[in-house]
Chain A
Amino acid sequence: MIQLTHLQKLEAESIHIIREVVAECEKPVMMYSIGKDSAVMLHLAMKAFYPGKPPFPLLHVDTTWKFREMIEFRDQRARELGLDLIVHINEEGVKAGINPFDSGSRLHTDVMKTQGLKQALDKYGFDAAFGGARRDEEKSRAKERVFSLRSAEHRWDPKNQRPEPWRLFNTRKRPGESFRVFPISNWTESDVWSYIALEKIPVVPLYFAKSRPIVRRDGALIMRDDERMKLLPGERVENMMVRFRTLGCYPLTGAVESEAATLEAVIEEMRNSHSSERQGRIIDHDGSGSMEQKKQEGYF
């Protein structure tokens, strides 16, 4: 008797979800944010439609402040896999000069990411967007459905969510409404890394420790990825051995000091770690319940 392991069960469940969207929705898209969760989700999509290719494009909402290595990696992955990649930038935000330094993390994220995402979904008329969010990331995500219905205005109503017994998803919606679908809802950070190792999934090298140009600011280690980051009085750039546990806009993503330069070392380090991955994400700390509020506003 074949006994399925924990990861095999998670994999099968995710593939099932991805296929269900393709079978039932008209115009799906996969949000590709370049991080490890996206890497796993994309790999699962490759598996779901093998020997064919995933029958939907990838969408990256580019805030123009991502690490350069992320952008290189993104373009290379799309090329290697032969997939369509749509890159959307909120040009209005760019014109208005929104940036994480002067506008603050909240406004920047809202305009460049949240609004940008809505623009892209409306522009192309996607009716289902896969996202790589996991329920273990944050308390309010623990209750997120796999198929999360959004109004035509992209709002999420936590009181009006459909029950999802077994593997049965109610995929009906009215014109204008759309779904956010989270195929790796049930994965943990540890599952994601184990799977990346097991399946040899390529990830952005920023996850591995290396000497990088770091500025200490407000207690966080910020990598100065380009000249747009102006040094404040008293600040200087130091080369430090660091890596990142999550990836986002470089000015908003704190590095951790680490010697873990290989996947095994990263997994080992994570197992002994005492802080959560979201700690490095500056946008989460706007107060308790803040992620919940962002979701109601349409943030992924």
Chain B
Amino acid sequence: MDAIAVDRATGGETAPQTAVAPSIDGAQKSLLRFITCGSVDDGKSTLIGRMLHDSGVVFDDQMEALEKDSQKFGTQGDRIDFALLVDGLSAEREQGITIDVAYRYFSTPRRSFIVADTPGHEQYTRNMATGASTAELAIILIDARKGVLPQTRRHSFIVSMLGVREVVIAINKMDLVGYSQQVYDKIVADYRELARRLNFGNIVFIPISALEGDNVTKPSAAMPWYRGTSLIAHLETVDIKPSTAADGAFTFPVQWVNRPNLDFRGYAGWMTRGRIAQGDAIVALPSGRRSTVARIVTYDGDLSEAVAGQALTLTLADEIDVSRGDVIVSANYSGKPRSLIPARILWMSERPLADGSTYLLKLGTAMAQAKISVSRAVDIHTYEEGEAQRLNMNEIGIAAITLDRPIVASEYGEDRELGGFILIDRWTNETMALGLVDSSLSPKVAPDTIAQVVPAGLAGRLTTFLAADLPLRRQTRGGIFQRVLLGYAPLAVIIGGIIGALSGSLLLGLGVAVANVVACALLSLWMQDSGMPVDESRLRDEANVDGDGI
């Protein structure tokens, strides 16, 4: 690529090109991703609006619109309501609350920032967790008039659980408590007490007024007793240490095999942690085959080394079989493929999790079927654990996850991207939960359930068949089927077995097949009756994948 705006053929102009690189905005800047959390009305939107405004990313036409909106929807009388700069969807504007994760962007001469603005209500715990998952720092707002509240404990817990180590406690609305140092000191002490049970690396306290701007972008004249930096100054300079793992290994989940021609076979993916160099010895997992890095290919030329976060294409010295879902790791990687994963999960769906249910699990680029055994739940206010067989939306549980095949999963504390996963409902495709691998937990595995008794492919075919042919299903009731099914399936197998033993193997096969048919018929009826959507073409796909032989 030689010149900017190449348009020679059409006689268009070519912008003269000079050595712009060193002065290009953003070329040298670092990036900080952070999340803001606080309860409704603590002042999150106002704070973000003010940061956007003071850093100059708000344009005149937007300012004009803001002034108009402030008159119409504002909460500050005739004054500008900065919250309206960030409150987007019309529904929430009217209700005056934030209902989803919204991402905001601004930059200062030193850094670029991506802000995840998340709702504070308990029913939006899942949104906050999503925002925290990629955050390197969290700003937790506390209303100076209210001090540390149950919500503060909840937000802090989620942020800590999602692996954010760098925290700012912004004590807001200091203007409403007369900029009092006593109020501030009391909140700091209370928070320190709370934080003892959390896993933060560094906590910085800043007294602010989002509305007036005190200590947001410039030091506050009203609070001479505070000697720390302003919030923005802190965000610009805070040093984020990459999370490290004891083994010092690199991991590279393979996204896609790049085979543009017969002479090139590369593995496209990204480094989730560590550092890789040409010539490094690698192991491809889960197969365990070994090789060395031949080239680190990028569009901008081969690299001699690369680090976590980079998107790369690797070629290996030997022809070994590697595909999507596999992970290329350094020889010193301490983990190994596993099919039993202890994890914390945050349930995000309105349909609760029942102990023993199966879902699809996506971790890195790997996908597997997962059975979830939930044994305990964590109370996000008291941080206490209790027995649980079920998780409702926004609840956090401790679970043992059994996979249908081994995958490479790292500890979340060492590598967020190879230690975090989502659970997907295979019928509705809904994302049901997010989870964090944590081997220090020791959850119980539930005994086998229906989902494992009946092969999925059989269930699919029969459901399709029955949906068309059995009018009776409408009158049936779910609970009965489940019980009948659990009782009948093994019984049918036993009967089949007895017949088989008496009459030779042909009949044995027949007996098992009959058992399967009965079991599947019942299962599908039960599923439909209990309101599980049944998508026929999906079922057909699944039936094919499983390659069963009815």
User: B-contacting residues of A (Cβ < 8 Å)?
Assistant: 1-13, 15-16, 19-20, 22-23, 46-53, 69, 72-73, 76, 80, 135-136, 139-140, 142-143, 158, 161-168, 170, 172-175, 185-186, 188, 190-191, 193-205, 207-208, 210, 261-264, 267, 271, 273-276, 279, 288-289, 292
Contacts and interface: CB of A to CB of B under 8 A. Distances in A.
Contacts of A208: 5, 13, 15
Given A16-B255, A276-B61, A276-B62, A3 B264 contact: no
Question: Which A-B residue pairs are the 3 nearest by beta carbons?
Answer: A52-B260, A139-B88, A165-B133
Contacts, number: 258
A2 B422 CA distance: 30
A6 B26 contact: yes
B101 interface: yes
B5 A53 contact: no
Nearest to A4: B309
A222 B360 CA distance: 53
A167 B417 contact: yes
B307 interface: yes
Residue of B27, B59, B88, B363 contacting most chain A CB atoms (<10 Å) = B88
Given A48-B311, A263-B20, A275-B59, 19 more contacts: A5-B27, A6-B112, A7-B27, A7-B29, A9-B309, A15-B270, A15-B311, A51-B260, A52-B261, A143-B100, A163-B101, A166-B133, A168-B422, A172-B360, A190-B25, A203-B5, A275-B61, A279-B61, A292-B89
B52 to A, nearest CB: 10
A262 B16 contact: yes
B264 A51 contact: yes
Interface residues of B, number: 98
Contacts of B452: none
Interface stretch (B102-110, B169-177, B209-217, B524-532): B102-110
14 contacts: A5-B29, A6-B29, A8-B310, A12-B310, A52-B258, A52-B260, A142-B103, A172-B429, A185-B103, A200-B1, A202-B7, A205-B15, A208-B13, A288-B69
B31 interface: yes
B477 interface: no
A11 B311 CA distance: 8
A277 to B, nearest CB: 9
Residue of B5, B62, B258 contacting most chain A CB atoms (<10 Å) = B5
B344 to A, nearest CB: 13
B187 to A, nearest CB: 30
Interface of B: 1-7, 9-10, 12-18, 20-21, 23-31, 57, 59-62, 65, 69, 86-90, 93, 100-105, 107, 111-112, 114, 126-127, 129-130, 133-134, 255-256, 258-261, 264, 266, 268, 270, 275, 297-300, 305-307, 309-311, 313, 324, 348, 360, 362-363, 365, 416-417, 420-422, 424, 426, 429-431, 434, 535, 537-538
A207 B14 CA distance: 11
A4 to B, nearest CB: 5
A73 B259 CA distance: 30
B27 A194 contact: yes
Contacts of B25: 190, 193-194, 267, 271
Contacts of A136: 104-105
Nearest to B103: A135
Contacts of B348: 163
Contacts of B307: 1-2, 4
Contact of B102 (A46, A142, A191, A198): A142
Given A4-B307, A23-B324, A194-B24, A205 B5 contact: yes
B354 to A, nearest CB: 21
B27 A16 contact: no
A200 B4 contact: yes
Given A4-B309, A46-B299, A140-B88, A199 B421 contact: no
A170 B349 CA distance: 14
Contact of B4 (A10, A19, A196): A196
Given A165-B133, A166-B417, A173-B429, A190 B2 contact: no
Given A12-B310, A263-B4, A172 B129 contact: no
B61 A76 contact: no
Contact of A191 (B26, B93, B311): B26
A143 B69 contact: no
A202 B3 contact: yes
Nearest to A261: B15
A5 B126 contact: no
Nearest to A79: B9
A87 B119 CA distance: 42
Contacts of A288: 65, 69, 90
Nearest to A195: B26
B129 A165 contact: yes
A172 B424 contact: yes
A50 B60 contact: no
A49 B258 contact: yes
Contacts of B538: 174-175
B30 A142 contact: no
Contacts of A200: 1-4, 17
A198 B24 contact: yes
Contacts of B14: 205
Nearest to A17: B311
Contacts of A20: 255, 365
Contacts of B7: 69, 72-73, 76, 202, 204-205
Contacts of A142: 86, 88, 102-104
B431 A163 contact: yes
A10 B32 CA distance: 12
A292 B90 CA distance: 8
